[in-house]
Amino acid sequence: MTSPAPAAPVPGSATPGAFAPFRHKTFTVLWSATVISNVGAWMYNAAAGWLIAVLDPNPLTVSLVQVATMLPMALFALPAGALADIVDRRRLLIAVQAATLMASALLGLIVLVGGATPTLVLGFTFAAGVGAAMVAPAWQAVVPQLVPKAELPSAVALNSVGINISRAIGPALAGLAIAGFGLAAPFLLNALGFVLVIAALAWWQTKGARLSQLPAERFGNAVRIGLRHARRNPHLRATLARSVGFFLFASAYWALLPLIARDRVEGGPQLYGVMLGAIGVGALLGAIALPRLKARLGADRLVAAGTIGTAVALVLFALARHPAPALAASLIAGAAWIQVLSSLNVSAQVALPDWVRGRGLAVFVTVMSAAMTLGSLVWGKLAGQIGLPWTLLIAAAGLLAAIPLTKGAKLQTGLGVDLSPSMHWPQPVLSQDVAPDRGPVMVSIEYRIDPKDRDTFLDKLAVMEHERRRDGAYAWAVFDDAAAEGRFVETFMVESWLEHLRQHERITRAARVLQDEIRALNAPGFPAVTHLIATDMPRGVAPAEEEEEA
């Protein structure tokens, strides 16, 4: 499972101490439980990779462990994000954790009785990946409920530390458990870790109050709106572009690490576990140094530095013939990984308003996982054809090439944007009762602009288009009155009356500032808003025509 990753700080706010979130009992309990469970998850991953390498050492087959782990994220993260935004997150987490517990325990029993096959191991790993995909957006979206907003930056750092403590401990424990008790032990211990998390979640009593008085969104509609928002969110799109450029190539060492340990360095499961542990130690050291590096370099240069560090690690992996250089490469890879991953995660967090946070983060997870999955397949296939060293060197070259190719996609540009809800739209005045599911709805806004302000007005309205679409509109247009200079009509369409009422709750303070600027360009009494709802026209053939046909 994955520890929650909260939103970024509000610009200009005071920075609490690094351990301030531990003052809150709920955060401390959940953090501790997730660290222990993540130890089990890393034991599971290390054992699955080694078990496949024993059962079928073909590079493509070994790389499929990484595919089975990451592909579910690409397939299910977005639906999971929609669920995280529309259902009780605590109950969702408990249900999925319980199902994953049973899957891990069953695989352990199968391995224990000697019934494991590559297909079975990959199938259960895929199932575990589905579980991780279903809870990842909920974990990330739930942390703002655990700590005050001012302490979210410290919570980010502590979650990173927790993840990397487990990454450092888990693989090494897997190697010891395999050596001492056999290959089934890591899978069974992982199941025990889920028991602790479920107990912690059951203990946590959420308030359960919803800020919105409107009904929860329907699942299909929530997915569509989430995708529409991501498509029109420039801050998130830049983060996604940088994610593809990194994870596509960085996936090479994750996919091929069991073969690097066994074939290049000629080690056993203990060395493989130590190498994974070294990646975790490197990530822990990178997380400790992260605040100072971020202050000195900024997000964009920090990601570039982490990308270069990952390329260096790939080169060292390609050249390693002894444990020492392989372990050095692992340390570098871990430090570089956390620098890039943390920066990208914060960039995605600050790009999203609360109402769509689960879905937006799910899009980020989906893109990251899809890049990792595709990369794992490519590097596994390539390693089988040209060998491990050349494959790793090609991946390193790809990382270096990605730096200038994605340079234009700037990170964390949402830091200075206030995405909190403004709630300044007045409730529509109605002359009749409107059913919530009636629609589509066309909102029409009439403007009266001084002709000399035309260009300024249209530039601001073009920016407003993206805001309308991010908040749920599926069509938008602006019309210039040919008979009245300076008269413009903006229209946008939403799927139902209920969806338009949700727009009233989604409009951000940043959008309000833009609306005020547009309003200031108008003549007194404008803009004027009209709501038009589609009506069912009578259909059929006129009676006279029916008689003629008869």
Lowest mean pLDDT among 6-10, 94-98, 328-332, 399-403: 6-10
Tell me the pLDDT band of 425, cut-offs 50, 70 and 90. confident
Write down the CATH superfamily of domain 23-205+218-416. MFS general substrate transporter like domains (1.20.1250.20)
Spell out the residues 6+ positions from residue 13 whose beta carbon is closer than 8 angstroms to its own: 149, 150
Tell me 489's DSSP state: E
Q: What pLDDT, in 10s, does the model give residues 349-391?
A: 888 888 888 888 889 988 988 898 899 889 988 998 999 999 9
Tokens 């299909």 found at: 220
The answer to whether residues 310 and 379 touch, using CB atoms and an 8 Å cutoff, is: no
Neighbours of 484 (CB within 10 A): 9
The whole-angstrom separation of Cα 449 and Cα 433 is 34
Tokens 């790809």 correspond to what residue? 398
Q: What is the pLDDT of residues 68-95, one digit of tens each?
A: 887 888 788 888 888 888 888 888 889 9
Residue with tokens 């070294």: 278
For the four alpha carbons of 240, 245, 250 and 252, in that order, the dihedral sign comes to positive
Q: Tokens standing for 150?
A: 């001012």
- For 66, 235, 354, 412, 466, the CA distances from 421, given in Å and listed in that order, are 40, 18, 9, 20, 16
Q: For position 110, what pLDDT does the model report?
A: 92
Is residue 94 within 8 Å of residue 201, measured between CB atoms?
yes
Amino acid at position 242, single letter? R
Per-residue confidence (pLDDT) for residue 14, from 0 to 100:
45
Task: Output DSSP code: residue 4.
Answer: -
**Other CB atoms within 10 Å distance of the CB of residue 113:** 8
Say yes or no to pLDDT of 507 above 80: yes
Phi-psi region of 423 (alpha: psi -120 to 50; beta: other; left: phi over 0): left
Do the domains 418-550 and 23-205+218-416 match in fold? no
| Three-class secondary structure of residue 550 per DSSP | coil
In this predicted structure, the answer to whether residue 545 has a pLDDT above a threshold of 70 is: no
Residue 160 to residue 349: CA distance in whole angstroms: 15
Rounded distance, CA 130 to CA 443, Å?
A: 40
Sketch the domain layout of the chain as residue ranges.
23-205+218-416, 418-550
Q: How far apart (Å, rounded) are the C-alpha atoms in residues 384 and 315?
A: 18
Assess if CATH 3.30.70.100 describes domain 418-550: yes
- Report residue 521's pLDDT band, with 50, 70 and 90 as the boundaries: very high
pLDDT tens column, 219-231: 888 888 888 899 9
Share the mean pLDDT of the chain: 84
Strand pairing category for 475-480 and 441-448: unpaired
Contact (CB, 8 A) for 173 and 273:
yes
Distance separating alpha carbons of residues 223 and 85, to the nearest angstrom: 10
Tokens representing 232 are 């029109």
Please, what sign has the CA dihedral across residues 422, 423, 426, 427?
positive
Within 13 Å, how many C-alpha atoms sit on residue 195's CB side? 6
